[in-house]
Structure 1
Amino acid sequence: MKAVKYLTSMGELKRKDHSLIFRNERGHTYIPIEGVKEIYCLNEVSINSKLFELLSKAGITVHFFNYYQQYTGTFYPKEGLVSGRLTIKQAEAFHQVRMPIAKAIVGGIANNIYYVLYHYYTHGSKELKPFLNWLRKEVPLLLEKDINIPQILFIEGTIWKRFYDSFQYFLPESFLFNKRVRRPPDNPMNALISFGNSLLYAKTISQIYRTHLNQSISFLHEPSEGRFSLSLDLCEVFKPIIVFRTIFENINNRKLQVGKHFDKELNYCLLNDSGKKIFIQSFEERMSKAFMHTKLKRKVTYHTAIKLDAYKLIKFIMEGEVFRPFDDKEKQ
C-alpha cells in the first residue's frame, strides 16, 4: 500500500534522477517515488517545474498548506477520469435536485455527531441528553420541511454551534473556547479544528479526484471559484467521526497539552512541530484503520468510505438512487 508523506519543516523538494529528495537546513531525505501516493507540504516548500513532470507521471498528489496550517491548494496529475456526460448531469442535478442532496448531508452531520457524543453520554456526561434528543428527533423534522438552501445552512450552523457548546461537558477547561475562529485560529481548540478540517478536506479532494465528479459543482455549499466546493460538501459528514474523534482522544488521553504542543502569539495559536506530528499520526491511523462495513459485508477504511460517498452521489445523479452519506452505524 502506498504511503502518505508529510513535510512539516521548511525546505526544498526536488527531483533526483527518478526519485524525490527533500532538502533543508538539517540535511536531506530521499523519498522513493514508488512508495508514495500523496505529499502534504505543511510549511514553506520550494518546488520546480521539473519535479511536477515527475509527480504527474507517478500519479502523486501534492497538497499545500500555509503558515497558519490551513489548506491553500493542490497539485494533482492531469485529469484522467473526466466525463463530460457526468459533468452535464451534475450541473443539471444542481439546478433540479439540489435540496435532497443538501438535506442528506446535513442529516448525515447530525447523525454522526450523535454517535460521537453518545459515547460521552454513556460515560457520565448526562448533560448531553437534551442535545442528543434534538439531533435525533427535531433535526429530521426540520429537514423534512419545504425549506431553501439558506435555511438548510442555518440548521447546519445551529448543529455545529450546539456541538461546540457541548465540549464543556467532557473536555478539560484549557481546551474550551467561546466561538469558532478560523483565520487565523486564536486558541488551542480552534487550532486543532482548523488543522484537522484542512487535512480532511485535502483527503476528500484526493478521493474525489479518483472519480469522474467535477470538484467545482457542489450542493450544500455554493459553487465558487478558487476552491473545490464539492469536497467541502462530502467531507462534512466525516468531520465528527474523523477530525473530532481524533481531537477528543488526543486531549482526553493527554497526548496533546496546551503548554507543550501549541505556539501562542498575540492574535493566533498554532500547533507546534511536536503537536503536528502527534495529531498527524493519530489522524492517519484513524483514516487507515479498517472496519467491517455492515452493508458492504467487507472491510474498508475511511479513505474508501469517502470515495464510496462520491460514488453514491454519482449513482444519485445518473440513476436517481437515493443519496445517503456515510453513517457511523454502518461500521462495526
Structure 2
Amino acid sequence: MISIGSKTKYLTSMGELKRKDNSIVFINENGNNYIPVENVREIYCMNEITVNTKFLDFASKAGIVIHFFNYYGYYSGVFYPKEQLISGKLKIRQCEAYKDSREEIAKAIVLGISENIYEVLYHYYKHGCKEIKETLDWLKNDVPRFLSKEINIKQILFVEGLIWQRFYNTFKYILKEEFTFDKRTRRPPENPLNALISFGNSLVYAKTVSQIYNTHLDQSISFLHEPSEGRFSLSLDLSEAFKPIIVFKSIFNLVNNKMLQVDKHFDKKLNCCILNDVGRKIFIGEMEERFNNVFFHQTLNRKTTYYNAIKLDAYKLIKYLLEGREFKPFSLKEMV
C-alpha cells in the first residue's frame, strides 16, 4: 500500500478491502492495514482487490471515490458515491453547448494542449536541444492560426493528432536511447515508453474523474471527445491539457535521471510491456508529487496545486456554460 499525502491511497498488492467499525482495513499477505476513514478521499486499486457491498456502502457514505486499474495499468472503472451535486439547469446548458458551441470548446482544449507542450519543450530547447526548434515554431505559430479558422470537429481532432505526433517525434532528442519510441501503441503497450504514457494518462484521467465528481457537471457530455457509453468523456476532455505537465514531465525526469530503467522496472512479454511493482511505485510517487506541487497562480492571485487546477478548469467550463465567460484550460504560463 502507498499512502500519498493524507487523502490518496494506492493499493499495489493483492488483497481485500473491508469495513471494520468506523475504519477501513486493507487485508493482504502482510496482515491488516487500518486506514482511518476521515483520512481518505480516493483509493486507487492497482491490483486484484476484493470488496463487498458492506464496504461500498460505507465508502459511499464517507464520500470516497474508488478507482480500479487492470493488469496493463489501464483504467477499468470507478465506484463513486451517489451524485450529490446535480443541476438540471447546468445539464441543459451543457447539452446546448454540445449542439451549438462544441467546436469552440474543443478548439480551446486543443490550444491548451499545444501551449503546454510548447512550454514543456521550450525548457529543453533552452538547455541546448536545438533540434526541436521547428516543432516549437509550429506549435507557437501554425497551430493557433489553424485553430482560429472555421473548422469542424474532425479537423480539430486532426490538429490534435498532429500536435501529439510532433511531440512524440521530439522524444529522440530528449530521452535516453534505451527508451525508444517508434509509434504510439496501446492495449497493450509494446515498449517501456508506451507503458509509461498509457499508465500516466490513466492516472490523470482518474484524477479528473474525481475532481469533476465534486462539481455539477455531467461527466458524460463532452466536447473534444465523442460522448459515448461506458466512459466519462468529459474527464478525457479536461485531462488533456494536464498530460504534458504531469505525465510527460514525470517521464522525462524519471528516465533522464535514471530513476526508471528498462532492465529494472519493466516486465516484457510477447508484444506487451508493463511497469513492474517497483517501477509502478516510483512512477506513482513522481506523479503524485507533481499533482500536489504548490505554485502561485497568477490569475487566482494565490497558491494552488495542479490537482486543484483540474477542478478550477471544471469551474471555468461551468462559467462558460452559465455566464458566457471565455473557457481557457490551464496553461503553464499562469504559474510563477
TM-score bucket (shorter structure): over 0.9
Residues in 2 aligned to 1:199 and 1:170: alpha-carbon distance in whole angstroms? 23
TM-score w.r.t. the length of structure 2 is 0.98
Question: Where in structure 2 are the equivalents of 1:1-332 lying within 5 Å?
Answer: 2-332=6-336
* Counterpart code for 2:167: F
Residues in 1 aligned to 2:127 and 2:299: alpha-carbon distance in whole angstroms? 28
* Counterpart code for 2:297: H
Residues in 2 aligned to 1:186 and 1:16: alpha-carbon distance in whole angstroms? 42
Residue segments in structure 2 that go unaligned for 5+ positions in a row = none
Residues in 2 aligned to 1:179 and 1:9: alpha-carbon distance in whole angstroms? 31
By how many angstroms is 1:21 displaced?
Answer: 1.0
By how many angstroms is 1:24 displaced?
Answer: 1.8
* Counterpart code for 2:98: F
For the aligned residue pairs, the C-alpha RMSD in angstroms reads 0.8
State the secondary structure of the residue aligned to 1:175: coil
State the secondary structure of the residue aligned to 1:174: coil
Deviation per CA, 1:148-205: give whole Å up to 9, x if none. Answer: 0011000000000110010001111111211101101110000000000000000000
Residues in 2 aligned to 1:2 and 1:169: alpha-carbon distance in whole angstroms? 38
Residues in 1 aligned to 2:91 and 2:31: alpha-carbon distance in whole angstroms? 46
Residue segments in structure 1 that go unaligned for 5+ positions in a row = none
Residues in 2 aligned to 1:5 and 1:22: alpha-carbon distance in whole angstroms? 11
TM-score w.r.t. the length of structure 1 is 0.99
Range 305-314 or range 1-10, more displaced: 1-10
* Counterpart code for 1:198: S
By how many angstroms is 1:15 displaced?
Answer: 1.0
* Counterpart code for 1:159: I
By how many angstroms is 1:2 displaced?
Answer: 3.9
Deviation per CA, 1:89-133: give whole Å up to 9, x if none. Answer: 100000011111000000000000000000001111100000000
Range 299-308 or range 23-32, more displaced: 23-32
* Counterpart code for 2:282: I
Residues in 2 aligned to 1:301 and 1:165: alpha-carbon distance in whole angstroms? 30
Residues in 2 aligned to 1:31 and 1:268: alpha-carbon distance in whole angstroms? 35
